[in-house]
Amino acid sequence: MTKLTPQDLTLERMRADVAALLHETPDSILDDDNLMDLGVDSLRALNLSLAWSEAVPLEFSELAEHTTLAGWWSVVQARLRAAGHDA
C-alpha cells in the first residue's frame, strides 16, 4: 500500500473514506451531514484521523470538535496551509 501524501488528502478522499467506513456510497455523505448521526462514533473517527495523519499532522481532538465533513475538511485545510501545502 502506498503512503498517503498531502496531495492525496482531498475533501472527496475524506468523503470516500467516511462512506467506506459506513458501508455507504460517497454521494450519500453530504458536507454538512452530522457524521455522528450517520454512525461515525469516536473509535471510527480516531481510525480516520490516524489514517489521514499520514498525509497531514492531525490530532483526533481537532476532528472531535466538529461533527461534519465540512468541519473536518476545514481542519485539514488549516493544517495543510500550516505545513506549506496548497489547501
pLDDT digits (tens, 9 = 90+) for 12-47: 999 999 999 999 999 999 999 999 999 999 999 999
pTM (2 decimals)?
0.91
Helix and strand numbers (H, E) in the chain are: 5, 0
What does the domain layout of the chain look like in residue ranges? 6-85
Query: 39: left (phi > 0), else alpha (psi -120 to 50), else beta?
Result: left
pLDDT at position 41: 95
CATH classification for the domain delimited by 6-85, as one of 3.30.70.100, 1.20.1300.10, 1.10.1200.10, 3.50.50.60 = 1.10.1200.10
pLDDT at position 3: 83
46, three cell numbers: 480516531
